[in-house]
Amino acid sequence: MNIEHYRKLERMYMAAPLTEFYDTTQITISEGHTEVSIQIDSKYFHALGAIHGAVYFKLLDDSTYFAANSLVEDHFLLTTNFNINIIRPANKGIITAKADIRFASKNLWIAEGTIYNDQGKEIAFGTGHFARSKTLLMNIDVYR
C-alpha cells in the first residue's frame, strides 16, 4: 500500500476537532494496522473516578476504523457495527489502542482492536465492521 495514504489518514485524524478534545498523543497507521494513544484526563471520568465507556469506544473505533481505511485509498469508510468489551478500569497514564484487520472484502472490512494501559495490561477490546461510503477521500480537505 501507499505510505503517503497512511500519512494523509494520520493528518485527517489529527485535524478532527474531537481528536483535540481527547488529547490524542499519537496515531500511527500502516497497512491493516493502527495504533492510537491518549493521555487520560479526569474530564473523561464517570462518577467512580475512571474513564467512561465512551472513551474506550472512541479509541477502539478510531483504531479499527483507520486499520480498515488504510486498505482503502479512494473512499471514506463508515462504521456499521461495533462490539466492545471492557475488562478493567483505567484512571491515569497513557492508554494505547492497537488494531488489525481481521477480514477484508470488496465492501466490508472487519478489524479487531485492543486497548492497553501504560503497564501493558489489556483493559478493553472490540471488533468493528466498516463499509465504503459514497464520499471520496480526495474530496475531504484535511485528507489532501
Domains of the chain: 3-139 (3.10.129.10)
Closest of 89, 69, 86 to residue 77, by C-alpha: 69
For the chain, give the mean pLDDT: 96
Measure Cα distances from 135 to 75, 81, 86, 138 in Å: 6, 19, 32, 9
Band of the pLDDT at 108, cuts 50, 70, 90? very high
Average pLDDT over residues 21-38: 94
Cell of 59: 479509541
Closest of 3, 139, 142 to residue 70, by C-alpha: 3
Cell of 80: 456499521
Q: What pTM does this model have?
A: 0.95
Closest of 27, 52, 48, 45 to residue 113, by C-alpha: 27
**pLDDT, tens digit (0-9, with 9 covering 90-100), for 46-73:** 999 999 999 999 999 999 999 999 999 9
Band of the pLDDT at 1, cuts 50, 70, 90? low
Whether the per-residue pLDDT at 90 is higher than 80: the answer is yes
Whether the per-residue pLDDT at 88 is higher than 80: the answer is yes
pLDDT given at position 144: 85
Question: Which percentage of the chain shows pLDDT scores above 70?
Answer: 99
